[in-house]
């Protein structure tokens, strides 16, 4: 089955840039979606189709995808960005959906 | 605005069947290009995709659940349901019902989870 690998944790100071990676075999040939999950809450879609933002998601949140790595970037990080972030793809060969293991973003 | 609401028992005994229902408002279980499904999250762990039912009635499930899972829909109640048989403590989790939307980007087909229920905690214990 298709595997997505994320770093367990990322730490960043307020105002700095957070970069969260999602690695998968030839992931650039899939569309990648990202979800933010605050403590005790349901996940929320923050990036879809690699780099598209749903309405209400600020422009400082962006995504990219190429080769074997997709990346979620959060510029000018705020305390409110502290959450778990998950990447997700569709494994079309099996018609399954796959999540990465999640990355805990800590704002120092 | 689409809203999803899970309902069902919060406690299930080992070896029994876990059943949850998701009631949809603001959309229809027969909407084209939409998948209705379930995702779970064991306490302190990550998200795990369970499966979906498409508006056509077709289904797909996570093979890790080894044939214990089924998802069905009820058009009269505008809802869909999850059934997981022979549960063990490892099935204890928050269960989320979801809507995912079929999309095309860069010539690639995919879908993303655009709406989630609030989640329903199910504990498997005697």
| Cα distance between residue B64 and residue B59, in whole Å | 15
| Cα distance between residue B115 and residue A42, in whole Å | 10
**Contact call for B49 and A35, based on CB within 8 A:** no
Count Cβ–Cβ pairs < 8 Å, chain A vs chain B. 75
**pLDDT 10s digits, B43-62:** 999 999 999 999 889 999 99
Give the three-class secondary structure for A28: helix
β-strands A44-47, B48-54: how paired? unpaired
* Mutation choice for A interface testing from B35, B47, B61 by most A CBs within 10 A: B47
- pLDDT, mean of residues A31-57: 97
B117 min Cα distance to partner chain A (Å): 7
Q: What pLDDT score does A87 carry? A: 98
A89 vs B contacts (CB less than 8 Å): 110
**pLDDT 10s digits, A45-95:** 999 999 999 999 999 999 999 999 999 999 999 999 999 999 999 988 888
Q: Exposed, middle or buried, A84 (CB in 10 Å: 0-12/13-18/19+)?
A: buried
pLDDT averaged over every residue in chain B: 95
Give the residue, A80 or B107, on which the prediction is more confident: A80
DSSP string, A58-72: -TTEEEEEETTEEEE
Q: What pLDDT score does B109 carry? A: 84
| Cα distance between residue B122 and residue B20, in whole Å | 9
**Contact call for A35 and B47, based on CB within 8 A:** yes
């Amino acid at each position: 089955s298709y595997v997505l690998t994320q770093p367990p944790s990322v730490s960043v100071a307020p105002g700095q840039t957070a970069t969260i990676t999602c690695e998968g075999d030839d992931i650039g040939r899939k569309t990648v979606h990202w979800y933010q999950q605050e403590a005790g809450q349901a996940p929320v879609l923050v990036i879809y189709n690699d780099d598209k933002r749903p309405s209400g998601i600020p422009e400082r949140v962006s995504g990219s995808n190429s080769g074997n790595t997709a990346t979620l970037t959060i510029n000018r990080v705020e305390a409110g960005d502290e959450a778990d972030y998950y990447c997700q793809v569709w494994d079309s060969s099996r018609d399954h959906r796959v999540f990465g293991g999640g990355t805990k973003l800590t704002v120092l | 605005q689409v809203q999803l609401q899970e309902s069902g028992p919060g406690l299930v005994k080992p070896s029994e069947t876990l059943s949850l229902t998701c009631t949809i408002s603001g959309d229809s279980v027969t909407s084209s290009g939409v998948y209705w499904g379930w995702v779970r999250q064991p306490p302190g762990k990550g998200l795990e995709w369970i499966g979906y039912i498409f508006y056509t009635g077709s289904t797909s499930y996570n093979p890790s659940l080894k044939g214990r899972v089924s998802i069905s829909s009820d058009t009269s109640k505008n809802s869909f349901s999850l059934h997981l048989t022979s549960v063990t403590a490892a099935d204890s989790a928050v269960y989320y019902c979801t809507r995912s939307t079929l999309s095309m980007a860069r010539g690639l087909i995919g879908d993303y989870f655009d709406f989630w229920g609030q989640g329903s905690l199910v504990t498997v214990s005697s």
